[in-house]
């Protein structure tokens, strides 16, 4: 939950400049470079989660981490089931509902395609739809093309070739797999309105990038011919086509079509160096911004210490609270390969015989992300301060 919260703040810093400067970047860098910049979102959000991505210092035993245990934990730990708070349940409910919505969309799509004529050719599945679906492509492991039943009547031979190459470009460029990752982020950050707006802009940039890719591969095809093919494919989206969303783009989106036709007049160079430079800077800033968050969330004072993943607070002993007794316990323990704690021993306790039992009981339930080096996983120290409110 801490990662979700800080990542949401990061999105508030990254998405507005990226979206507000979109038109300027599109005119200066071109559609393909603009589409490449969207990589900053998954990289900035997911890279800090990789276990191997840590800032290392010289191997040494970690300093003692201090954790405050107040008398509030007397009742909270008796009533709250661990770390699973109400906020976590609400987030999980949203994740389930959004994932269920995506699953229903996929199910509706396959239900309609079962009624279509199916042909397999050259490791490619063709579905000839009678419901005015397509042209569109979908699939993750294997591409499948949806072709409208009047495909030959609506398009000339050259236009058919351009439309098919556009759809296949989505597969060759990895757009379908990128859309799967984008859907995963939408499920995790379903509560973030800016991410949904950014997803819409991202899918539009995906189409612009494919247009530029096809025109570069077929330089003999004029922009006018390609524009006529796009206009021929454009039609109002019937209600039955809603099953294709959000995994397939439709040609009926007027605002996207206007932008695509305008971009056909511009021919940008294929160099991606400016976009890669901007992307690298944005990713570096985002990841560096996340690093202090990771350190704060882990609650450790040493950068090469194992990071706590699950931490159960000790219960303040009832008798100690009634007698207004405060104190502290210093513990030393090892972190195993699976993240569990072992060989817990008390280094120092004040006063003795009051807080040790609860401190050991809670620490035995902690789970860690082991450090990359073997040494810091041994002899990890923590100090628990028991303080009355």
Q: What is the pLDDT of residue 182?
A: 92
CA gap 59, 305 in Å, rounded: 9
Q: For 116-174, how does the pLDDT look when each residue is reduced to its tens digit (9 = 90+)?
A: 888 887 778 888 887 667 788 888 888 888 888 888 888 888 888 888 888 888 888 88
Name the pTM for this structure: 0.64
Q: Is the pLDDT of residue 292 over 70?
A: no
Confidence of residue 61 (pLDDT cuts 50, 70, 90): very low
More confident residue, 140 or 256: 140
More confident residue, 331 or 260: 331
Q: In terms of C-beta distances under 8 Å and separation of at least 24 residues, what long-range contacts does 136-140 make, across chains too?
A: 136/167, 136/244, 136/248, 136/249, 136/250, 137/167, 137/168, 137/170, 137/171, 137/176, 137/248, 138/109, 138/176, 138/244, 138/247, 138/248, 139/171, 139/176, 140/176, 140/177, 140/180
Question: Mean pLDDT over all residues of the chain?
Answer: 76
Confidence of residue 193 (pLDDT cuts 50, 70, 90): very high
Furthest-apart CA pair in the chain: how many Å?
90
More confident residue, 223 or 344: 344
């Amino acid at each position: 939950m801490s990662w979700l919260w800080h990542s949401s703040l990061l999105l508030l810093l990254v998405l507005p400049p990226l979206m507000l400067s979109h038109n300027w970047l599109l005119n200066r860098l071109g559609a393909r470079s603009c589409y490449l910049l969207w990589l900053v979102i998954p990289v900035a959000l997911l890279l800090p989660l990789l276990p191997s991505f840590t800032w290392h210092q010289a191997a040494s035993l970690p300093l003692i981490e201090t954790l405050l245990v107040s008398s509030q934990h007397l009742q909270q730990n008796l009533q709250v089931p661990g770390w699973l708070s109400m906020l976590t349940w609400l987030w999980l409910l949203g994740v389930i509902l959004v994932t269920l919505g995506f699953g229903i969309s996929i199910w509706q799509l396959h239900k309609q395609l079962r009624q279509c004529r199916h042909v397999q050719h050259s490791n490619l599945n063709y579905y000839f739809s009678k419901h005015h679906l397509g042209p569109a492509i979908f699939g993750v492991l294997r591409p499948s093309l949806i072709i409208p039943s009047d495909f030959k009547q609506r398009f000339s031979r050259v236009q058919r070739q351009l439309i098919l190459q556009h759809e296949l470009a989505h597969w060759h460029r990895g757009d379908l797999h990128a859309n799967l990752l984008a859907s995963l982020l939408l499920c995790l950050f379903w509560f973030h309105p800016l991410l949904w707006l950014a997803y819409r802009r991202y899918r539009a940039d995906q189409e612009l990038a494919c247009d530029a890719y096809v025109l570069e591969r077929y330089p003999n095809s004029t922009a006018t011919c390609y524009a006529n093919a796009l206009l021929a494919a454009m039609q109002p989206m019937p209600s039955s086509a809603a099953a294709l969303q959000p995994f397939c783009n439709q040609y009926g989106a007027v605002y996207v079509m206007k932008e695509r036709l305008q971009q056909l007049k511009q021919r940008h160079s294929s160099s991606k160096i400016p976009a890669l430079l901007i992307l690298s800077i944005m990713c570096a800033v985002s990841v560096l911004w996340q690093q202090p968050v990771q350190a704060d969330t882990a609650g450790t004072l040493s950068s090469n210490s194992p990071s706590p993943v699950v931490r159960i607070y000790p219960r303040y002993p009832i008798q100690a609270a009634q007698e207004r007794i405060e104190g502290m316990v210093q513990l030393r323990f090892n972190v195993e390969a699976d993240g569990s704690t072992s060989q817990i021993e008390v280094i120092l306790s004040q006063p003795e015989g009051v807080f040790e039992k609860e401190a050991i009981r809670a620490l035995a339930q902690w789970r860690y992300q082991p450090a990359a080096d073997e040494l810091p996983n041994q002899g990890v120290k923590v100090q628990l301060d028991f303080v009355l409110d």
